[in-house]
Amino acid sequence: MARNDTTPQSQHLAVLIDADNAPAAIVEGLFEEIAKYGIASVRRIYGDWTGPQLGKWKQVLLDHSIQPMQQFAYTKGKNSTDSSLIIDAMDLLYTRRFDGFCLVSSDSDFTRLAMRLREEGLTVYGFGEEKTPKPFVAACDKFIYTEILRADAEPAVEPAVMGKSAAPSLGDDPKPAAKPKPQKVPVDFIAKVIDDLSDEDGWASLRVLGQNITKIRPAFDPRLYGFKKLSELLKAQQRRFEMQEHGTSGGRMLYVRNRQGKKGEK
Protein backbone atom coordinates (compact mmCIF):
# COMPACT_ATOMS: atom_id res chain seq x y z
CA MET A 1 0.00 0.00 0.00
CA ALA A 2 1.09 3.62 -0.54
CA ARG A 3 3.18 5.31 2.12
CA ASN A 4 1.40 7.82 4.34
CA ASP A 5 4.43 9.93 5.19
CA THR A 6 4.83 11.65 1.83
CA THR A 7 3.70 14.98 0.48
CA PRO A 8 2.38 15.11 -3.11
CA GLN A 9 5.64 16.56 -4.44
CA SER A 10 7.74 13.86 -2.73
CA GLN A 11 5.70 10.90 -3.94
CA HIS A 12 7.73 8.20 -5.65
CA LEU A 13 6.28 7.53 -9.09
CA ALA A 14 6.87 4.84 -11.69
CA VAL A 15 6.68 6.27 -15.21
CA LEU A 16 5.79 3.67 -17.84
CA ILE A 17 5.62 4.85 -21.46
CA ASP A 18 4.03 3.00 -24.38
CA ALA A 19 6.35 4.15 -27.18
CA ASP A 20 3.95 2.86 -29.84
CA ASN A 21 1.20 5.18 -28.60
CA ALA A 22 3.04 8.30 -27.41
CA PRO A 23 4.99 10.82 -29.55
CA ALA A 24 8.53 11.75 -28.54
CA ALA A 25 7.62 15.44 -28.90
CA ILE A 26 5.95 15.35 -25.47
CA VAL A 27 9.05 14.30 -23.52
CA GLU A 28 10.06 17.75 -22.18
CA GLY A 29 6.57 18.70 -21.13
CA LEU A 30 5.86 15.21 -19.82
CA PHE A 31 8.57 15.19 -17.17
CA GLU A 32 7.95 18.83 -16.26
CA GLU A 33 4.33 17.88 -15.62
CA ILE A 34 5.24 14.75 -13.66
CA ALA A 35 7.54 16.83 -11.42
CA LYS A 36 4.41 18.62 -10.15
CA TYR A 37 3.12 15.37 -8.71
CA GLY A 38 6.23 13.65 -7.44
CA ILE A 39 9.60 12.09 -8.21
CA ALA A 40 9.94 9.92 -11.30
CA SER A 41 11.91 7.17 -9.56
CA VAL A 42 11.46 4.69 -12.40
CA ARG A 43 11.39 5.76 -16.05
CA ARG A 44 10.77 2.98 -18.55
CA ILE A 45 9.62 3.00 -22.15
CA TYR A 46 8.38 -0.05 -24.06
CA GLY A 47 8.65 -0.93 -27.73
CA ASP A 48 10.58 -2.78 -30.42
CA TRP A 49 13.84 -0.85 -30.62
CA THR A 50 15.30 -2.98 -33.43
CA GLY A 51 13.33 -1.12 -36.10
CA PRO A 52 13.25 2.50 -37.32
CA GLN A 53 9.73 3.27 -36.10
CA LEU A 54 10.89 4.62 -32.73
CA GLY A 55 13.68 6.80 -34.10
CA LYS A 56 12.52 10.01 -32.43
CA TRP A 57 12.35 8.34 -29.02
CA LYS A 58 15.89 6.96 -29.40
CA GLN A 59 17.17 10.54 -29.71
CA VAL A 60 15.86 11.61 -26.28
CA LEU A 61 16.22 8.54 -24.05
CA LEU A 62 19.65 9.35 -22.63
CA ASP A 63 18.89 13.03 -22.07
CA HIS A 64 15.93 12.12 -19.86
CA SER A 65 17.32 8.95 -18.24
CA ILE A 66 14.58 6.76 -19.71
CA GLN A 67 15.29 3.04 -19.77
CA PRO A 68 14.23 1.37 -23.03
CA MET A 69 12.56 -2.01 -22.54
CA GLN A 70 12.92 -4.23 -25.58
CA GLN A 71 9.82 -6.10 -26.70
CA PHE A 72 10.00 -8.04 -29.95
CA ALA A 73 6.93 -8.31 -32.13
CA TYR A 74 6.59 -12.09 -32.09
CA THR A 75 3.53 -12.08 -34.33
CA LYS A 76 2.83 -9.57 -37.09
CA GLY A 77 -0.11 -7.36 -36.30
CA LYS A 78 -0.03 -8.15 -32.57
CA ASN A 79 1.15 -5.59 -30.01
CA SER A 80 3.16 -7.38 -27.32
CA THR A 81 4.34 -4.06 -25.86
CA ASP A 82 1.14 -3.74 -23.83
CA SER A 83 1.64 -7.09 -22.10
CA SER A 84 5.25 -6.30 -21.24
CA LEU A 85 4.31 -2.94 -19.72
CA ILE A 86 1.46 -4.45 -17.71
CA ILE A 87 3.64 -7.26 -16.32
CA ASP A 88 6.31 -4.76 -15.25
CA ALA A 89 3.68 -2.53 -13.66
CA MET A 90 2.44 -5.40 -11.51
CA ASP A 91 5.99 -6.36 -10.54
CA LEU A 92 6.67 -2.77 -9.47
CA LEU A 93 3.35 -2.63 -7.63
CA TYR A 94 4.26 -5.58 -5.42
CA THR A 95 7.57 -4.02 -4.39
CA ARG A 96 5.47 -1.55 -2.35
CA ARG A 97 8.03 1.17 -3.11
CA PHE A 98 5.77 3.51 -5.07
CA ASP A 99 3.03 5.98 -4.25
CA GLY A 100 1.72 6.22 -7.78
CA PHE A 101 2.11 5.36 -11.46
CA CYS A 102 2.25 7.50 -14.59
CA LEU A 103 0.86 5.58 -17.57
CA VAL A 104 1.74 7.27 -20.85
CA SER A 105 -0.41 5.95 -23.68
CA SER A 106 -3.58 6.62 -25.66
CA ASP A 107 -4.43 2.91 -25.67
CA SER A 108 -7.56 1.73 -23.86
CA ASP A 109 -5.86 -1.62 -23.17
CA PHE A 110 -4.42 -0.07 -20.00
CA THR A 111 -7.83 0.67 -18.50
CA ARG A 112 -7.87 -2.43 -16.31
CA LEU A 113 -4.28 -1.83 -15.23
CA ALA A 114 -5.16 1.68 -14.04
CA MET A 115 -8.14 0.33 -12.13
CA ARG A 116 -6.03 -2.40 -10.50
CA LEU A 117 -3.38 0.05 -9.36
CA ARG A 118 -6.03 2.30 -7.82
CA GLU A 119 -7.53 -0.69 -6.03
CA GLU A 120 -4.21 -0.95 -4.20
CA GLY A 121 -4.52 2.65 -3.01
CA LEU A 122 -2.00 4.10 -5.47
CA THR A 123 -2.51 7.30 -7.45
CA VAL A 124 -2.65 6.85 -11.23
CA TYR A 125 -1.78 9.71 -13.58
CA GLY A 126 -2.65 9.08 -17.20
CA PHE A 127 -1.11 10.86 -20.18
CA GLY A 128 -2.54 10.49 -23.67
CA GLU A 129 -3.91 12.27 -26.71
CA GLU A 130 -7.44 13.66 -26.83
CA LYS A 131 -8.45 10.61 -28.84
CA THR A 132 -7.85 8.43 -25.77
CA PRO A 133 -10.97 6.31 -25.06
CA LYS A 134 -13.03 7.58 -22.15
CA PRO A 135 -12.82 4.33 -20.09
CA PHE A 136 -9.04 4.74 -19.74
CA VAL A 137 -9.40 8.42 -18.88
CA ALA A 138 -12.02 7.66 -16.22
CA ALA A 139 -9.89 4.86 -14.74
CA CYS A 140 -7.14 7.34 -13.79
CA ASP A 141 -7.13 9.70 -10.80
CA LYS A 142 -5.98 12.45 -13.14
CA PHE A 143 -5.56 12.45 -16.90
CA ILE A 144 -3.49 15.00 -18.84
CA TYR A 145 -3.93 15.37 -22.59
CA THR A 146 -0.53 15.39 -24.26
CA GLU A 147 -1.55 18.07 -26.76
CA ILE A 148 -1.13 20.49 -23.86
CA LEU A 149 2.38 19.22 -23.12
CA ARG A 150 3.65 19.50 -26.68
CA ALA A 151 2.08 22.86 -27.53
CA ASP A 152 5.39 24.66 -27.07
CA ALA A 153 7.64 21.83 -28.25
CA GLU A 154 10.06 22.56 -31.06
CA PRO A 155 9.75 20.13 -33.99
CA ALA A 156 12.85 17.99 -34.41
CA VAL A 157 14.80 18.66 -37.61
CA GLU A 158 15.83 15.52 -39.44
CA PRO A 159 19.34 15.56 -40.97
CA ALA A 160 19.60 15.67 -44.77
CA VAL A 161 20.90 12.52 -46.43
CA MET A 162 22.59 12.62 -49.84
CA GLY A 163 21.20 16.07 -50.52
CA LYS A 164 17.62 15.01 -49.78
CA SER A 165 15.49 15.54 -46.72
CA ALA A 166 15.27 12.42 -44.61
CA ALA A 167 11.81 10.87 -44.48
CA PRO A 168 10.26 10.62 -41.05
CA SER A 169 10.44 7.25 -39.36
CA LEU A 170 7.31 5.14 -39.26
CA GLY A 171 5.35 5.94 -36.15
CA ASP A 172 6.91 9.38 -35.62
CA ASP A 173 4.85 12.53 -36.02
CA PRO A 174 6.49 14.72 -38.72
CA LYS A 175 4.17 17.65 -38.13
CA PRO A 176 5.08 20.51 -35.78
CA ALA A 177 3.07 20.65 -32.61
CA ALA A 178 0.10 22.93 -33.02
CA LYS A 179 -1.21 24.88 -30.07
CA PRO A 180 -4.54 23.31 -29.12
CA LYS A 181 -7.57 25.51 -29.65
CA PRO A 182 -9.11 26.47 -26.28
CA GLN A 183 -12.32 24.66 -25.51
CA LYS A 184 -15.50 26.23 -24.16
CA VAL A 185 -15.36 26.63 -20.38
CA PRO A 186 -17.90 24.26 -18.72
CA VAL A 187 -19.30 26.94 -16.42
CA ASP A 188 -22.48 25.02 -15.58
CA PHE A 189 -20.48 21.99 -14.47
CA ILE A 190 -18.16 24.12 -12.31
CA ALA A 191 -21.13 25.98 -10.83
CA LYS A 192 -22.80 22.71 -9.83
CA VAL A 193 -19.68 21.48 -8.06
CA ILE A 194 -19.40 24.82 -6.22
CA ASP A 195 -23.02 24.57 -5.09
CA ASP A 196 -22.45 21.02 -3.83
CA LEU A 197 -19.43 22.11 -1.77
CA SER A 198 -20.45 25.57 -0.61
CA ASP A 199 -21.33 26.65 2.91
CA GLU A 200 -24.51 28.46 3.94
CA ASP A 201 -23.24 31.69 2.40
CA GLY A 202 -22.43 30.00 -0.90
CA TRP A 203 -18.62 30.02 -0.56
CA ALA A 204 -16.43 27.04 -1.43
CA SER A 205 -12.68 26.63 -1.00
CA LEU A 206 -10.83 26.91 -4.31
CA ARG A 207 -8.47 24.10 -3.28
CA VAL A 208 -11.31 21.73 -2.41
CA LEU A 209 -13.13 22.75 -5.59
CA GLY A 210 -10.15 21.78 -7.72
CA GLN A 211 -9.81 18.43 -5.96
CA ASN A 212 -13.47 17.56 -6.44
CA ILE A 213 -13.55 18.62 -10.08
CA THR A 214 -10.63 16.26 -10.77
CA LYS A 215 -12.39 13.41 -8.95
CA ILE A 216 -15.45 13.86 -11.14
CA ARG A 217 -13.61 14.64 -14.39
CA PRO A 218 -10.02 13.32 -14.32
CA ALA A 219 -9.21 15.06 -17.63
CA PHE A 220 -10.30 18.53 -16.47
CA ASP A 221 -7.43 20.95 -16.91
CA PRO A 222 -7.58 24.78 -17.02
CA ARG A 223 -5.03 24.70 -19.85
CA LEU A 224 -7.62 23.10 -22.10
CA TYR A 225 -9.55 26.37 -21.86
CA GLY A 226 -6.59 28.72 -22.29
CA PHE A 227 -5.71 29.30 -18.61
CA LYS A 228 -2.74 28.15 -16.55
CA LYS A 229 -4.63 27.87 -13.27
CA LEU A 230 -8.17 27.27 -12.08
CA SER A 231 -8.16 30.63 -10.28
CA GLU A 232 -7.39 32.42 -13.57
CA LEU A 233 -10.20 30.57 -15.31
CA LEU A 234 -12.71 31.55 -12.62
CA LYS A 235 -11.60 35.19 -12.56
CA ALA A 236 -12.23 35.36 -16.31
CA GLN A 237 -15.84 34.26 -15.69
CA GLN A 238 -16.74 37.21 -13.44
CA ARG A 239 -20.39 37.26 -14.48
CA ARG A 240 -20.84 33.74 -13.17
CA PHE A 241 -18.31 33.42 -10.34
CA GLU A 242 -17.15 35.64 -7.48
CA MET A 243 -13.82 35.16 -5.71
CA GLN A 244 -12.59 36.37 -2.33
CA GLU A 245 -9.62 35.75 -0.08
CA HIS A 246 -10.61 34.66 3.41
CA GLY A 247 -8.45 34.32 6.49
CA THR A 248 -8.28 30.91 8.20
CA SER A 249 -6.24 29.35 10.98
CA GLY A 250 -3.88 28.09 8.28
CA GLY A 251 -3.44 31.49 6.62
CA ARG A 252 -5.14 33.17 3.68
CA MET A 253 -7.14 31.03 1.25
CA LEU A 254 -9.12 31.70 -1.90
CA TYR A 255 -12.85 31.01 -1.96
CA VAL A 256 -15.30 31.08 -4.85
CA ARG A 257 -19.06 31.52 -5.09
CA ASN A 258 -21.56 30.88 -7.85
CA ARG A 259 -23.32 34.23 -8.45
CA GLN A 260 -26.33 32.55 -10.05
CA GLY A 261 -26.66 29.72 -7.60
CA LYS A 262 -29.41 29.57 -5.02
CA LYS A 263 -26.87 29.89 -2.24
CA GLY A 264 -25.24 32.88 -3.92
CA GLU A 265 -28.46 34.84 -4.41
CA LYS A 266 -29.07 37.80 -2.17
At 8-39, the pLDDT tens digits run 678 999 999 999 999 999 999 999 999 999 99
Q: Are 68 and 61 in contact (CB under 8 A)?
A: yes
| Spatial CB neighbours of 187, under 8 Å, sequence gap ≥ 6 | 237, 240, 241
pLDDT at 251 over 50: yes
Q: Which of 175, 169, 202, 141 is nearest to 25 (CA)?
A: 175
Query: From the centroid of its chain, how far is CA 97?
Result: 21
Q: State whether 70 and 111 are in the same domain.
A: yes
pLDDT of residue 161: 41
pLDDT at 249 over 90: no
pLDDT at 162 over 60: no
Element (H, E) at 244: strand 241-248
pLDDT of residue 181: 76
Mean pLDDT taken over the chain:
85
Q: How many domains does the chain have?
A: 2
Q: Tell me the residue range of the domain where 26 lies.
A: 8-157
pLDDT of residue 111: 96
Q: State whether 64 and 115 are in the same domain.
A: yes
We report the CATH number of the domain holding residue 210 as 3.30.420.610
Q: Which of 158, 111, 156, 115 is nearest to 135 (CA)?
A: 111
The alpha carbon torsion through 145, 146, 150, 156 (nearest 10 deg) reads -160
